[in-house]
Amino acid sequence: SSDLKALLDIIFIGTTNSLTEASFVTLKVYDILGREIVTFFNETKLSGKYEVEFDASELPSGTYIYKLTAGNYQMIRKMLFIK
């Protein structure tokens, strides 16, 4: 449905699934052509676990990429959105 809300648990570091120390964190979503769609974080975050809600209801169906950087850690994953 166009009301899709995907919860992204943004921290996947180690087995604790949490940010183990304060770090500069960025979390951005891009379309398949590399255009930035949204920035959730671009700031220093304290240790802990964070979640964001991604409301894709205004986006067309397609493949999107999200990129998480926390300190020296980097993760890039694909998301498939189908209306």
DSSP annotation string for 24-70: EEEEEEEETTS-EEEEEEEEEE-SB--EEEEE-TTSPSEEEEEEEEE
pLDDT at 35: 96
By DSSP bridging, strand 51-55 and strand 73-81 are unpaired
State the burial class of residue 16 (Cβ atoms within 10 Å of its Cβ: 0-12, 13-18, 19+).
exposed
Q: What is the pTM of this model?
A: 0.74
How do the pLDDT tens digits run along the chain, 83 residues long?
333 344 344 433 333 346 778 889 898 999 999 999 999 889 998 888 877 777 888 889 999 998 988 888 888 988 888 87
Q: Which residues pair with 5 in a beta bridge?
A: 55
Q: For residue 7, give both structure tokens.
A: 């919860």
pLDDT at 10: 40
